[in-house]
Amino acid sequence: MTTLRTIWRFLTLPRGLTGHPFYGAARRRGSRRGVALLMAITTIAFMTILVTEINYTARVRLVMSAHGRDEAGAYWLARSGVGLYQLILIADRQMADQGIPSTFGALPALSRRSTRP
């Protein structure tokens, strides 16, 4: 009966109070520290990966928007160049048909002044 009582006491004791080193308080504190350290390192690693990914995505979007801006500027610059060249061609065709165009009749008046004595 005594052996059953001691076995029962041993089995029902809280594990931290027994004298066995496996259940000792010192061992528990050390293992908790290790788990906490492991969780802290893992959390910092995940946060570093997350911040790096966000930074990379932001940089890619910045470069893409800069390229889009430059592309739009180049498109409109090319369009204005085409329009200017069309204007030059129209003016050239008019000059070929009519000679040098006078601006509000100013060229004939200037040519008359220069021919006067």
Residue with tokens 């946060």: 47
Q: Give the residue-averaged pLDDT of 100-105.
A: 58
Total tally of structural domains belonging to the chain: 1
pLDDT digits 0-9 by tens, 29-83: 545 667 888 899 999 999 999 999 999 999 999 999 999 999 999 999 999 999 9
In this structure, is residue 35 part of a structural domain? yes
Query: How far apart (Å, rounded) are the C-alpha atoms in residues 28 and 35?
Result: 11
Q: Does the predicted TM-score (pTM) go above 0.85?
A: no
29 part of a folded domain = yes
Q: Which range has the worst mean pLDDT, 36-40, 55-59, 93-97, 101-105?
A: 101-105
Look at residue 70 and tell me if it is in a domain. yes
69 in a domain, yes or no?
yes
Give residue 107's pLDDT. 52
Q: Where are the beta strands (DSSP E) in the chain?
A: none
Task: Write out the residue range of the structural domain in which residue 19 sits.
Answer: 2-97
